[in-house]
Structure 1
Amino acid sequence: MTIDDRPAGTIWTFAEEDYRYGIGPLRLRIERVMSTPVQQDGDLWYEVEGVEVSDQGRVVGPRRATVRASRLPTMRRGA
């Protein structure tokens, strides 16, 4: 499944070890994924922008984070 196949407003949850920097899981409605990954600690990471949502569903606010590439949803290209 790709981001394009998910309903608008899908919230992705990332474990603490799969994003930089924060404590605990990150719940994020992804709005933008930067196109160039960064190599860190032997893995690829992407900077993402979106809206952070609490575990109770409350909007926390805008958030930028660096997320492990293998944990990001696949995106359709050229569509």
Structure 2
Amino acid sequence: MDANRGPNRPVSHFAETDYCYGTGALAMRVDRVDWTRPIQRDGENWYEVEGVEVTPDGREIGRRQALVRGRRLSALQRNTRS
């Protein structure tokens, strides 16, 4: 754990059919989801996400952006103000 950042977020896994654009499954620690601007694709809402891509053994590859199918993001906490 980095003293300035807190613990790492859990790794989310997305099948190739659930994100754009890339080949193979995607594993990443999602830092941000742009819930305010859904994109209609294949009759569903997709969202831009940012985070850190990781290897199967947990090593960080680097920053990554992807467009992810909304129903695959339902377990992620939404940052909203009341």
Normalised TM-score (structure 1)? 0.82
Instruction: Answer with 1 or 2: which has the greater Rg.
Output: 2
Match of 1:75 among 73, 78, 81: 78
Identity of aligned residues (%): 48
- What are the equivalent positions in structure 2 for 1:52-67 lying under 5 Å apart? 52-67=53-68
Gapped runs of 5+ residues in structure 2? 1-6
Report the equivalent of 2:16.
16
Q: Structure 1 regions of 5+ residues with no counterpart?
A: 1-6
TM-score (norm 2): 0.79
Which protein has the bigger helix share?
1
Structure of greater relative contact order (alpha carbons < 8 Å, 6+ residues apart): 1
Q: CA RMSD in A?
A: 1.6
Post-superposition offset of 1:14: 0.6
Report the AA paired with residue 40 of structure 2: Q
Question: Number of residue pairs matched?
Answer: 73
Task: Output one character per residue of 1:19-52: Cα deviation in whole Å (capped at 9) or x when no partner.
Answer: 0011111101011111210001211100000000
